[in-house]
Amino acid sequence: MKTKKFPLHWKIMIGMLLGILFGIVMTQLSWGGQFTKFYIKPLGTIFINSLKLIAIPLILASLIKGISDLKNISKLSKMGGRTVITYLLTTLTAVLIGMTLVNIIKPGSSVTEKTRNDLMVAYQDNANEKMLIAEEQKGQGPLQFIVDIVPSNIFDAATDNKNMLQVIFFAIFIGVALIYIPKEKAKPVKDFFDSFNHVILKMIDFIMLAAPFGVFGLLAAIVVEAPNIDLFKALGMYSFTLVIGLAIMIGIYIMLVRIFTKRKASFFLKGISPAQLLAFSTSSSAATLPVTMDRVENKLGVDKEVSSFVLPIGATINMDGTSLYQAVAAIFIAQTFGMDLSLSTQLGIVLTATLASIGAAAVPSAGIVLLVGVLAQAGIPEAGLALIFAVDRPLDMCRTVVNVTGDATVSMIVAKSVKKLKKVKE
């Protein structure tokens, strides 16, 4: 008899809810915080680490296999061009939506001077820490990001998930070289990576068995470590503006999927939801990548040839949620300081927010570090970072969901455009 399996997204959702409830109960107990930190949080940390562990080998195996399967290089450049243009367009749309909303809602005007000063004092140290990191990244020429894509040592590159773009470069390079050598010479290497890829996919299946427990640990720890609820209230309008913008982006993705691939919203959301839930729980597109790839290929019907190329690149350069956040946060901070930004300054923010989201690493809190540059460029006090710190983690969770959903959307659109979108049962 065939038994109907309980869907993964429900299991994850239940894990998240129980984690939140558990966290709330623990905050009421004097020993609850310590207990959660020492005995529950490790569940989440182990889960996140195992996902990150898989990310680099997965990129290597699937990208080398995917690219080398292409008949010729022209297909790669066609796919590459479409991917980059679609990514840029969605990112720009996100920034513009953020800009429009923050200018209409004006969340900054709801913050009193007292709240502003309180927040500045409370989060000065955290803001300084992020500014210091940003400072280290400054002083480099505008082409530095291209220089950074090419690693000088692949083992070095593979030791840090922040260098994912370097690993992608290396994998594409090997894949292209494999296309250019005789078939019989390429076969052993291709077969190896093909088999390696299967092993990694099985490892992802195993890790996902632990997902409900992992997200339980992650969410319980986030609730226990959350700052005072009053600060959330003070930043309510700012958070509201951002969340509305992010929700609009999800609506736009659903529309794009419908228009370009004719797939229904329910089909798309059911397919991608486990990845969205993990993005929310881990705040990291890189950690979510293995699951995003699995879902996009097996549930949304995107051919491996496309997903193995579009998704790793998307995880590192396409961050629509982050770019929308940069725009909203920068203008919100300016508003709380009573600054009136000219149109040209706002256009400058569009540009820097787009670039910052491309440059941001797919890890938690990457967005807030890059925000320093956006603020500096627009002449907004960088210390204003302290204002949004209290709510940054939950908002990071939300923007990561958008980042991952955007990547999945573009992979479907690109797949359709190169006739590599398979029919999957709805």
Q: Which residues bind ligand ASP (CB under 6 A)?
A: 283-285, 319, 322, 360, 362-367, 396, 399-400, 403
| Least distance to ligand ASP, CB of residue 241, Å | 16
- Report whether 153 contacts 47 (CB < 8 A): no
| Beta strand segments in 31-96, E | none
Q: Cβ-count burial of 79 within 10 angstroms (0-12 exposed, 13-18 middle, 19+ buried)?
A: buried
| Least distance to ligand ASP, CB of residue 360, Å | 5
- Long-range Cβ pairs for the range 291-299 (8 Å, 24+): 291/51, 291/204, 291/208, 292/404, 292/407, 292/408, 293/58, 293/62, 294/201, 294/204, 295/271, 295/408, 296/271, 296/272, 296/408, 296/411, 296/412, 298/424, 299/270, 299/271, 299/272, 299/424
Q: Cβ-count burial of 196 within 10 angstroms (0-12 exposed, 13-18 middle, 19+ buried)?
A: middle
| Angle value at C-alpha 223, between 220 and 228, nearest 5 degrees | 165
Query: Which CB atom, from 283 or from 308, has the smaller least distance to ligand ASP?
Result: 283
Query: Which CB atom, from 67 or from 286, has the smaller least distance to ligand ASP?
Result: 286
**Residue 38: other Cβ atoms inside 10 A:** 9
| 344 beta partners | none
Query: Which CB atom, from 179 or from 350, has the smaller least distance to ligand ASP?
Result: 350
| Least distance to ligand ASP, CB of residue 114, Å | 29
Q: How far apart are the first and last CA of the chain?
A: 23
Query: Which CB atom, from 166 or from 400, has the smaller least distance to ligand ASP?
Result: 400
| Least distance to ligand ASP, CB of residue 119, Å | 20
Instruction: Find the DSSP H helices in 299-339.
Output: 304-317, 320-336
Query: Which CB atom, from 284 or from 335, has the smaller least distance to ligand ASP?
Result: 284
| Least distance to ligand ASP, CB of residue 62, Å | 19
Gap between the Cα atoms of 321 and 95, Å rounded: 9
| Least distance to ligand ASP, CB of residue 105, Å | 21
Gap between the Cα atoms of 119 and 113, Å rounded: 10
| Least distance to ligand ASP, CB of residue 192, Å | 30
- Report whether 365 contacts 392 (CB < 8 A): yes
Query: Which CB atom, from 133 or from 154, has the smaller least distance to ligand ASP?
Result: 133
Query: Which CB atom, from 261 or from 283, has the smaller least distance to ligand ASP?
Result: 283
Gap between the Cα atoms of 79 and 52, Å rounded: 27
| Least distance to ligand ASP, CB of residue 369, Å | 8
| Least distance to ligand ASP, CB of residue 295, Å | 16
**Residue 379: other Cβ atoms inside 10 A:** 11
Chain residue at closest Cβ approach to ligand ASP: 367
Query: Which CB atom, from 319 or from 387, has the smaller least distance to ligand ASP?
Result: 319
Query: Which CB atom, from 363 or from 414, has the smaller least distance to ligand ASP?
Result: 363
